Structure 1
Amino acid sequence: MRRRPFLTKEPTKVYRPRKRGTRLWLNVIFISVVTGFAGMSTIIILLRCLPLPDQSVVNPTEIESDDGLRLAEWTSSGTEQQAVPLSRIPQALINATLAVEDTNFYRDHAIDLKSTARALLVNMKHGSVVQGGSTITQQLAKNLFLSQDRTYSRKVREALFAMQLELHEPKDWILGRYLNVVYYGHGAYGVQSAARLYFNKSVDELNVAECALLAGLPKGPSIYSPLTSMDKAKERQHVVLQRMVAAGYLTQEAARTAYNTPITIAKFHSPIVQAPYFTQVAVDEAKRQYQVTNEQLYQGDVRIHTTLDPLLQQAAERALMTTLPKHSDIQAALVAMDPETGAIKALVGGRNFRMSPYNRVLAPRQPGSTFKGILYTAALEHGWTPANEVDSKLTTFVYGPNHDKQYTVHDYGDFYAERPLTLREALARSDNVYAVHTNLAIGPEAVVEMGHRMGISSTLKPYPSLALGVFPVTPLEMATAYATLANGGYKVSPYTVKELDSPGNSVQVHPEKEHVVSPQIAYQMTDLLTSVMERNGTGYSVRNYLHNVAAAKTGTTDTDAWMVGYTPNLVCAVWVGYDTNKPLTVAESHLAAPIWAKFMGTAQSHMPYDGFRPVPGLTRVTLDPLTGKVATPLCRTTEVDYFIPGTEPAEPCPVHSPPKPDQPKGPTNKLFEWFKKLF
C-alpha cells in the first residue's frame, strides 16, 4: 500500500490587505479608550484635590410660629447630638444594614456598576427615574449634599460625590456617617434617635431582632413603621434576616430565633418640637389641605408658617401646669383662636405630650352647660327675649307627638331658685329647668340646626336633653361655635397653617367667613354671657384673674368640666376630665374655670381691648329681674338688657310701681317722688 509522502514545503500564506474603514475604527476605539482613561484620571485627580462640599446644603423643613419663632425642624442630615461612633453600633445592626442595602460595600468602590446598569434599564423603560441602584456611599452623598429630586442630573452628581467621598474618607467613616443620618421614620434620623423612638433604648442595647427591624425601615419608613403597622414591619424584618443568612452573617436557625423574639415598641415618645400638640395639628393640616407628603417634609426645603402666638402658647401650657393636680391622671385641653379669622393661637392637647400624644382638643366629650350658648342663640332667633321668664323648680316635662314621654330635670345639687328667672339670670346660674323649657318651646330641631350653623359638626339629636349638652363635641368645635358670637355672627373655619412654601408649591391662606347669625342676636348673647363672670354667676370665683370684661359659660357633667368664652379678639375653650370617663370629684369639676381665667387674663394683657361695643339696631332697657318688666326707681335689683326693637317690655314693674294719683301719698309714695325728681 503506497503511503502519501510527507510535504516538505510550508503551505503558501495568502495576505489580504485590511480595509481602511477597519483601521479607522480601531484608531477611534484606541483614541477613545486613551481619552476616556485620561479623562477619568483627570476627574479622579480633581475629585481627590477638591474639598468635599459643606454638608447639609439642603434647606431643612421648618415650622414657624406667627412671629417667626422656629417650632420644629426636619433635615435629611439628622441631628449631631444624636450621632454615635461606629464602635457603639451593634455588629448585628451593621451586618443587617450591609445585607439589605449594600452587600459589597467593603469590596466595591463608590458605584455598583451592575446595579446602576440594571436601574438605568428600568428607568429608560419607564421614561423617568423610578429605581436608584445606589450604594451606601451614594445614599450618604445624596443625604449630605443633594436634594431628593429623582432626576438623571442628580444621579450623575450623586455618583461624582460618592466617588469623591471614597477618595477622601475611609469605608468605616462612610458607614458610620450613613448610619447616623439615614431616615428611619417619624422624624428620627440616625440609629440612635431611631432606637429611642421605637424601643426607648440606646442603640448599643438593641438585640438582633430589633437591629433587623430597624435596618429594614430606610427602604420605606412610612410603610414599614412598627408604630403604624407591625405586620408590615415584621414582613420587612423577615426579608432582612434572610438577606443576612444569604450574606453569611447569620445561620438559618439564628434568623428564625431572631424573628420569633418578641419586640416591645415604646409606648411613649419624647417630644422633639416646641408646642408639640399644635405642631402635630399643623403638620396634619399641611398634609391634608395642601397635599404635602411625609417624604417632602423630610426631604427638606419646606416652610410652614403657622398661626401660633408663642406668648399665648406659653400662657396656655402654664395655666394647665399650675392648675392640674401634680399626682393625678386627670387630663385637660385648651384651644384659643382669633374669632375674626379662625386662626388658632394656642393649643394644648394634654398635660404631657411625651406621656400621651393623644390630642384631646380633637376628642368629643359632653359639653354640659356650655352648650347653652348655642341653645339661647337659637331661642333669641326664634322670638325669645332676655325678659322671658321661667319658673325655676323641679319640673317633669311631658313631650312627644302624643305627649306620652316624660323628662324630669334636675339642677346641680337639686338647688332651685323657686321663682321665675329671666334669661340673664338663668344663664348666669346655669339653670337647667330654664334650658330644657326653652329647648322644648322653640323645638329641639331648631337648636340642632343652630349648632351646625355655628360650627358643630358632631352628631346632635333633637332630644329634650340636648339643652344640657349630652351629645359629645370637641373643644375645637365649641371654640368655633363661640367664635360666631364673638365676631358678630360669622362662622369661621379654624386653621393653623397661614402660609406654606415648598418646591413647586406656594400657598397663602385667605380665611373665609359665612354669615350665620345676625349681629344683633350675636351681641345680645355676648352681653348675656358676661353675666356669668359677675356676682352670682358660675364663673365669678375666677373673676380676679381677669383684667377686663369677658363673655363665658361654664359646664359640668359627671365626667367633664368645661369653660368656653371670649373677648372681642380671642375665644378659648377648656376641657378637664379623665380619658377613662372616670367621674370627677367636686374639686376636680371646678378645674376648668381657673385654667381658662388664668390664660385669658394673660391674653387680655397681651391683646388689650376696650370692651364689647353694642351694635346698631338694639334697644337698651333696664329690667326688674323679679318680674321681667321695666324697672322703676323703686326696684332694688335691676339688670340691663338689649332687645330687638319692638320686642322689649313696655309695662313697668308691677311690684315696685308708684301709687295711683287718687291714692293718698304715704312714706313710700313720697320716696318715689324723691327718686323721680332725682332721675
Structure 2
Amino acid sequence: MPELSYNDNTPEVRRLADPLERPMRPDPFDTNRSSAGRAGADSHGDREPYAYERGRLISERERLRQKYDAERDGDDPEPYDDRDALPPYATGTVPRRKRPIGRWILRGFGIGIVLLVIAIIWLAITAPLSKSLQPPTPPSITLTADDGTPIARRGAIIGKPVDAAKLPPHVTQAFLAIEDRRFYSHWGVDPRGIARAAWANMGSGGVRQGGSTITQQLAKNAFLDSDRTATRKIREAMIAFWLEAWLSKDEILSRYLSNVYFGDNTYGISAAAKHYFGRTPDTLNVGQAAMLAGLVKAPSRLAPTSNLEGARKRQAVVVGAMVAAGFLTKAEGDAVRPQRVLASRPGQLPNGTYFADWILPEARDQAGEVKTETTVQTTLDPRLQRAAERTVARAGLRQAQVALVAMRPDGRVVAMVGGKDYRKSPFNRATQARRQPGSTFKLFVYLAAMRQGLTPDSTIEDRPVTIGDWSPKNSDGRYQGTITLRQAFARSSNVAAARLTQQVGVKAVIKAARDLGISTPIPNEATIGLGTSTVSLLELTAAYAAIAREQYPVQPRGLADVREKGWYQSLTGGATEIPSKIHDEMLDLLAASIRNGTGRQANLTVDAFGKTGTTSDNKDALFVGFARDLVVGVWVGNDDNSSNPGLSGGGIPARIWRDFMQSALGIAPVAAPPPAVEEVDPDALPSDEEDNAVLPLGGEIEGLGLNLKMGEDGTISVGPSHRDRQEGPPLRDDRRPPEDEPGYDGEQ
C-alpha cells in the first residue's frame, strides 16, 4: 500500500476530504440513533446531515496527520498547520476554472444555426412560395340566369397573372420609380429606403413615407395582415429575405404586379388596365402606367372612378419620379398628359340583388375553392323577374314593404323580390324575415283533416268556441252555424279552423306542416291553426308547391345544377306522393277560396288555387297560390311590425299575385261581370267580410296607400288622405325586423 501524504492530492485523499467525492454513510457506532433510524439511514444514506460528514472529515484528517507523524523521518519537513496547507478538496474551496471565450463563440454560433433552421422550417410552413401566386381575396363569381344571361357579379375582380419581363419597360419602370427604385440591388429590405423614410417622417411629424420594398409589399399582401406592429414588420422582413433567396427579381415583380390592389375591388394590373382604361397591360401608355402605379399608395382613396383629380395629381408625381430615376427624359416627362378613364363600363353587373344575396353562399360552396373568376348558372328567369319587379313597383305601396317569391312546383325559384328597393334596404323579406302566416297556415289544418278521412263536404260548426282560456272569433264577427269544410275554408272561418284543429289534434297539424317542409318552430298549442307561429315566405311558398306537385317536401333551390344526394339522404330524404284523393280534395278547397271566398281578387281566366292570410291588427297580409306550373307567394307589411289599417290578404297581396300571374302566364285579365240587379233591404246591415270592405259614399276608402275617394255620383278619384298619418319620406328600412312578434287570436 503506498504511503499517504497529508498534502497529497490523491483520489483516496479527495474521497476522504471532499463530501462530493465520497458517499455519505451513517455512522454504525452512533449510539444516539435507534436501530430503526440506523436501518433507515443505511437505505437512505443521501439524507445524512452535512454537519455529521464534516465531523467525519475532521476525524479522518487527524488520523492522517498522526499516521504521517509516525512514519516520517526526522529530515522530513514539518507540515503546515494552517488551512492553506489543506488541499482544495478538503476545504471545499475549489477554484473556478477559466473557460476560454472561444467556447462561448462556438456555442453562440450553434444556437444561431439552430434558430436559422427553425426559421426556415417556419417560413416553409407559414409562407409557402406557392401562396404568392394565389389572389389575396376570393375571385368574383358571376351569376347567370337560366338562359345564360349574366345577372350579378359578387367578389373581387382578379386579373390574370403577368410576366414582368414581357411588359413594356415603361410599365414596370413606373412602379419601380415610385415604389422601389433600388429593387434590383437590395436583398428584400432596403436600409437606405428605411432611413430616408424615417428622416422624412421625423421632419413632417407623421407617417408621410414608407420604407417597404416591393418584396416586402408582396410578403405583406400574400402572407400577412395589415396590422402596423413591430412583430408584423419583423415577419415581413423575414419573408422578404425568404422570397429573395428562392425567387428571381423578375418573378417577384411579376407576382407583385399580378396581386397588388388598385381600388374598385380590382386586383392585379391586368384587371386594373381593363377596368379603368379598357386595355391590356402591354398596351398601356406612359401616362396610364403612371396613374396605375400611383394608385398603389392609397387605392381606395385615389381610385379614378371616384377621385379622378386625385389620381391625376398622383400620376404627375409618378412621372416626376420616373424622370428623377432616369427612366424618362425631362422632355418625355413633360409630354405626358393627364389620363382619362372609362366613363361607363359596358355590361357592368350589379354587385347584389335579393336573389343573388340568397343564392351566393350556395354558389360558392358548389364552386369549391375558387382561384379564378367563376360563372355559376342559376334558375332565375329574367322575364319573370322583370315582371315581378314591375308588378311590385305598380302596387301603390307607400311605407309598407313587400316580398314576392315565384317558383316552379319542383322548387326552382324563377323570380324573387325581397323589398321595394334593394339599394335602400338589402334585407331580404322573402328569405330572411319570419312573420306570422295568418290564415295561409290553415292549409295544414285542412290537410290533416283530409288525412283523417274528412272531405270538403264534411260539416263543422261555425259558432263561437272556447278552448281552455282561448276564445277565437271570426274577423267579421258573424257566424254561419253548420257549414261545410269547403265553405269554412273559402270564407276563412277562424272558429271552424280552431274546432278542426281540436278535432284532428295539434300534433297532426304540426306533422302536416313538417311534411310539407315547414322547419321553423311550431308551438304545441291549438292557436297554431290560425297561424300564430312564424315562417319565411320562401318556406311557406314551397309548402304550397308541394300541393301543386302532388309530392312533398319541395326544397327551394336557385342553382341550375343539382348536387347528387348522398346515400343517407337518398334513403331518408326521398319525396312522398300525396294520395290522389287527398290531393283533389285540397285543390277543391284552394279553388273555392279564389272562386267565391276571401281570395276573389286573385281570380284568373285559368284554374287558380290559393289562400289569403291576415294577422291581427293587419300587421301582415299574404296571398299564396299557384296556377299552371307557377307557384307564387306575396307578403305585404311593415318592417317594424306596426299595424296597417284596412290591409288584408285578399286586398293588395291578392292583386299583386293576380297581376304577376297574368303577366307571367300571358293571360288576359278576368272580365268584370255585369252589375246584378238586387233588391236592397233598407234595414239590412252592410257586409264587411274580409276583403269586401264597405265603400262609403262621399267618404274615404280605408286601405294601404290607396287614398281613393268615391263621390256621391259613383266616381272614384285619388286624393290626399285625411287620416292623421305621417306624409314625409319613408324612413330607412334596412334594419332587421323584430324577431319577437306577439301572437294574436284571429285573422282580421
Over 3 Å counting, the alpha-carbon distance change for 1:203 and 1:364 in structure 2 is farther
Which residue identity does 2:181 align to in structure 1?
A: R
CA distance in 1, matches of 2:557, 2:599: 29
TM-superposed deviation, 1:63? 1.2
Structure 2 CA distance, aligned partners of 1:599 and 1:467? 29
Q: After superposition, give the CA deviation of every residue in 1:517-556 in whole Å (9 maximum; x if it has no partner).
A: 3343123202210111113x1111332xx23111100000
Which structure's residues are more often strand, by fraction?
1
| AA of the residue aligned to 1:579 | D
1:346 is paired with a residue of what secondary structure? Answer: strand
**Cα distance in 2 for residues equivalent to 1:111 and 1:414:** 91
2:441–2:529 CA contact under 8 A, matched in 1: yes
- Residue of structure 1 equivalent to 2:358: 281
**C-alpha distance in 1 between matches for 2:500 and 2:257:** 73
Rounded Cα–Cα distance in structure 1 between residues aligned with 2:625 and 2:304: 45
Deviation at 1:73, TM superposition (A): 3.4
Match of 1:7 in 2: none
Go from structure 1 to structure 2 and tell me whether the alpha carbon gap of 1:121 and 1:146 turns closer, same or farther (over 3 Å shift).
farther
CA contact (8 A) 2:613 2:622 kept: yes
1:409 maps to which of 452, 472, 475:
472
* Closer, same or farther: CA 121–450 of 1 in aligned 2, 3 Å: farther
Which residue in 2 is equivalent to 1:93?
none
Q: CA offsets, 1:393-442, max 9 Å, x none? A: 22223xxxxxxx2321111121222x211111111100111101110111
Match status 1:541 vs 2:601: yes
- For 1:394 and 1:125, how far apart are their aligned partners in 2? 87
Task: Measure, in 2, the Cα distance between the counterparts of 1:136 and 1:598.
Answer: 55
Task: Please tell me whether residue 532 in structure 1 is matched to residue 593 in structure 2.
Answer: yes
Structure 1 partner of 2:450:
380
Over 3 Å counting, the alpha-carbon distance change for 1:509 and 1:108 in structure 2 is farther
Counterpart code for 2:523? K
The amino acid across from 2:303 in the alignment is: V
- Residue deviations 1:152-205 (CA, integer Å, cap 9, x gap): xxxxxxxxx99x79996676333246589x7x7xxxx98367x7xxxxxx6879
> Which amino acid in structure 2 is aligned with residue 530 of structure 1?
A
Counterparts of 1:342 and 1:358, CA distance in 2: 22
1:26-105 alignment, distance < 5 Å: 61-73=141-153, 105=179
**In 2 relative to 1, CA 171–337 (structure 1 residues): closer, same or farther, beyond 3 Å?**
closer
User: Distance in 1 between the 2:493 and 2:352 partners?
Assistant: 38
Is 2:611–2:625's contact at 8 Å kept on the other side of the alignment?
Answer: yes
Alignment of 1:135-284 (within 5 A): 137=257, 139=259, 143-145=268-270, 172-176=290-294, 191=303, 273=350, 276-284=353-361
From 639, 662, 666, the counterpart of 1:579: 639
Aligned to 2:664: 603
Pairing 1:106-505 to 2, within 5 Å after superposition: 107-108=181-182, 114=188, 116=215, 119=239, 122=242, 137=257, 139=259, 143-145=268-270, 172-176=290-294, 191=303, 273=350, 276-287=353-364, 289-290=365-366, 292=368, 296=370, 300-325=372-397, 328-339=398-409, 341-362=410-431, 363-397=433-467, 405-417=468-480, 419-499=481-561
Q: Distance in 2 between matches of 1:452 and 1:203?
A: 57
Find the aligned partners of 2:243 and 2:180 in 1 and give their Cα distance. Answer: 27
What SS does the corresponding residue of 2:507 show, helix, strand or coil? helix
The CA distance in 2 between the partners of 1:597 and 1:347, in whole Å, is 16
* Equivalent residue runs for 1:648-663 within 5 Å: none
Q: Whole-Å Cα distance in 1 between the matches of residues 631 and 158 of structure 2?
A: 38
Q: Is the 8 A contact 2:419 2:429 kept in 1?
A: yes
What is the distance in 2 between the residues matched to 1:373 and 1:111?
A: 78
The answer (yes or no) to whether the contact 1:106–1:171 under 8 Å persists in 2 is no
- 1:604 Cα deviation (Å)? 2.4
Report if the CA contact (8 A) 1:110-1:137 is conserved. no
Answer yes or no: is the 8 Å Cα contact 1:348–1:361 preserved in 2: yes
Counterpart contact for 1:488–1:523, Cα < 8 Å: no
Local SS of the residue matching 2:389: helix
TM-score by length of structure 1 reads 0.54
- Structure 2 distance, partners of 1:171, 1:145, is 11
**Which residue in the other structure is 1:28 paired with?**
none
Query: Aligned equivalents of 2:184 and 2:288: distance in 1?
Result: 11
Q: Kindly indicate whether the alpha-carbon contact (under 8 Å) linking 1:275 and 1:348 is maintained by their aligned counterparts in 2.
A: no
Q: 2:158 touches 2:373 (CA, 8 Å); kept in 1?
A: no
Which position in structure 2 is the counterpart of 1:83?
none
Matched, 1:592 2:653: yes
* Cα distance, 1:108–1:452 mapped onto 2, change above 3 Å: farther
Q: What's the counterpart of residue 514 of structure 1?
A: 575
Q: Within 1, Cα distance between the matches of 2:628 and 2:158?
A: 44
Instruction: Encode CA deviations 1:40-92: one digit per residue, 9 max, x unaligned.
Output: xxxxxxxxxxxxxxxxxx9974211011221023686599xxxxxxxxxxxxx
SS at match of 2:593: helix
How many angstroms does 1:132 deviate by?
7.5
Go from structure 1 to structure 2 and tell me whether the alpha carbon gap of 1:133 and 1:579 turns closer, same or farther (over 3 Å shift). farther
Instruction: Tell me how far apart the structure 2 counterparts of residues 587 and 442 of structure 1 sit (CA, whole Å).
Output: 31
Give distance in 1, aligned partners of 2:664 and 2:471.
Answer: 41
AA at the equivalent of 1:439? T
Q: Is the 8 A contact 2:401 2:638 kept in 1?
A: yes
Q: CA–CA distance in 2 between the matches of 1:484 and 1:466?
A: 20
Matched with 1:264 is none
Instruction: Provide closer, same or farther for how the CA distance between residues 602 and 443 of structure 1 changes in structure 2, counting only shifts above 3 A.
Output: same
Deviation digits for residues 627-660 of structure 1, max 9, x if unmatched?
Answer: xxxxxxxxxxxxxxxxxxxxxxxxxxxxxxxxxx
The residue aligned with 1:554 is: 612
Query: Which segments of 5 or more consecutive residues in structure 1 lack a partner in the other structure?
Result: 1-57, 80-97, 148-160, 196-201, 207-270, 398-404, 501-506, 608-679
Q: Distance in 2 between matches of 1:553 and 1:280?
A: 28
SS at match of 2:666: helix
Query: What SS does the aligned partner of 1:582 have?
Result: coil
Contact 1:71 1:275 in 2 (8 A): no
Matches of 1:132 and 1:382 in 2, distance apart?
74
The offset of 1:334, in angstroms, is 0.6
Are residues 342 and 358 of structure 1, via their aligned partners in 2, closer, same or farther at CA, if it must alter by over 3 Å? same
Structure 1 or 2, whichever has the larger Rg, is: 2
What is the Cα deviation at residue 125 of structure 1? 11
Query: Residues 274 and 516 (structure 1 numbering): CA distance in 2 closer, same or farther, change over 3 Å?
Result: farther
Question: Quick one: distance in 1 between partners of 2:438 and 2:415?
Answer: 23
Q: Secondary structure at the match of 2:179?
A: coil
Give 1:504's aligned residue.
none
How many residues align? The count is 412
Change (3 A) 1:338 1:123: farther
What residue ranges of structure 2 are gaps of 5+ in the alignment? 1-137, 160-173, 189-213, 217-237, 262-266, 273-279, 312-347, 669-748
Contact 1:179 1:191 in 2 (8 A): no
The Cα shift of 1:273 comes to 2.3
- In the aligned structure 2, how far is the partner of 1:566 from the partner of 1:390? 27
For the 8 Å contact 2:437–2:532, the answer to whether it is kept is yes
Secondary structure of the corresponding residue to residue 486 of structure 1 = helix
- AA aligned to 1:311 is R
Deviating more after overlay: 133-142 vs 565-574: 133-142
Match of 1:342, as an amino acid?
A: G
